[in-house]
Amino acid sequence: RYRIQSEQFEDLWLITNELIIRLQEYFEKQGIKDFACSFSGSMPLQEYFELIDHHFELRINGEKLEELLSERAVQFRAIQRRLLTRFKDKTPAPLQHLDTLLDGTYKQVISLADAVEENQDNLFQSFTRLKSATHLVILLIGLWQKLSADQIAILEAAFLPLQQDTQELGWEEMVDAAISHLLKTCLSKSSKEQALNLSSQLSIPKDTSRLKKHITLLCDRLAKGGRLCLSTDAAAPQTMVMPGGCATIPESDLEERSVEQDSTELLTNHKHLIVETPVPEVSPLQGVSE
């Protein structure tokens, strides 16, 4: 039995993925063909949502800092113009503390520029951690529902659309649009949901509640037998076993409740994974359990 633990949720992905690969290679060399890894614990979405919130907070903070920097830059140039006008005037006139204003505004511009640069560095690190946590969530969903390579590829395309954030287009709105598309196509409950049109214009959201609700709803519909596929005709429900600790959530209630309540009822905090190797006499069925 192997136990993987980490103080940081996102750090679990690399070692967990590597362990699964090595276990598969080992038992393949041993001639054991029915070895399979599985995940039977509750999905650790609460820790994942915390990383999403932190990343989104840095994005909002970056926008505010850039707006302030732009305002101070405009003010600095206006003071410069007034000072140049005074210097060019043939009749000397008092500066009326314009030099003091210029110096103070210059210091503010430099301070804000440093803050913008620091926030960008923090945002890059946060996005890297978010991508690592996203890989872990996709890995656990794949083990939980025994998804095929094609189905995992669909999840990766939905959760990892960007290599890096930009001011025009961010991770949150891209992922929310992709998951909404899945919920309205292959994971839809009825043809009425499939007929709903998605917004054609993406913009930074006010908060992450909608995104977190859609992620929770995605896991709930997968637990009820939903299938990830590119064709809506093939999205017939199939019998799947829900992981321990997951309770069925009615979609009508889920749409109305806040995401904080959703994630609290559906999930419990877990920051460790357990990997069990099978006994040679018995066909191994479980490789990763929580």
60-105 tens-digit pLDDT: 999 999 999 999 999 999 999 988 888 887 777 777 888 899 999 9
> Is 26 domain-assigned?
no
Kindly write down the DSSP assignment for every residue of 198-237, as one continuous string: PPS-----S-SHHHHHHHHHHHHHHHTT----S-GGG---
Residue 177 in tokens: 């649009």
Structural domains counted in the chain? 1
What per-residue confidence (pLDDT) applies to 252?
A: 44
Distance in angstroms (rounded) separating the CA atoms of residues 48 and 43: 10
> Is 222 domain-assigned?
yes
> Is 278 domain-assigned?
no
> Is 35 domain-assigned?
no
> Is 196 domain-assigned?
yes
- Contact between residue 10 and residue 51 where contact means Cβ atoms under 8 Å apart: yes
> Is 179 domain-assigned?
yes
> Is 228 domain-assigned?
yes
223-243 pLDDT tens trace: 998 888 876 444 444 444 444
Per the structure, the complete domain to which residue 113 belongs is given by 42-269
- Contact between residue 138 and residue 10 where contact means Cβ atoms under 8 Å apart: no
> Is 7 domain-assigned?
no
pTM for this model (two decimals) = 0.74
The helices-and-strands tally (H runs, E runs) of the chain is 9, 3
Q: What is the mean pLDDT of residues 19-30?
A: 93
Q: Does residue 290 sit in helix, strand or coil? A: coil
Residue 75 in tokens: 């003010």
